[in-house]
Structure 1
């Protein structure tokens, strides 16, 4: 972390906005074939599967690729928890 706490939080907010913006395209039905159709998440256990992918599988994949690691889902969750504590102090 840099010494400027506000700068760190601004960077995180910028990254979050970019991720959310791109994530929202998943629900844009004009992106045929690359979207989640309206009502799909309310069927069967699809919402559970979606959140498992969003909160566990995708972050693990991204972490392993960017950090050149081979960490499992629980290991990445541990890293996420550490970051929560680290940023909570701010």
Structure 2
């Protein structure tokens, strides 16, 4: 499956614990990445400074669903159920 252009759910829903250009402490779950442009496209796509976790994400029908909204909902739920307890 290819990414749905303009979705951006994987750049909003998950937390990222490693530095991102413009977000030196990573980003919390549910927060829009500063590298996500106004068209919901990653400014770092294909660049070496793109975080490893982003490079590792592979879209699939079970996660991405058929709409951008369903992808965001699913990824937020996965983030919630896999969140480490403090």
Q: TM-score, normalised by structure 2?
A: 0.29
Largest Rg, 1 or 2: 1
Larger RCO: Structure 1 or Structure 2 (Cα < 8 Å, ≥ 6 residues apart)?
2
Q: TM-score, normalised by structure 1?
A: 0.28
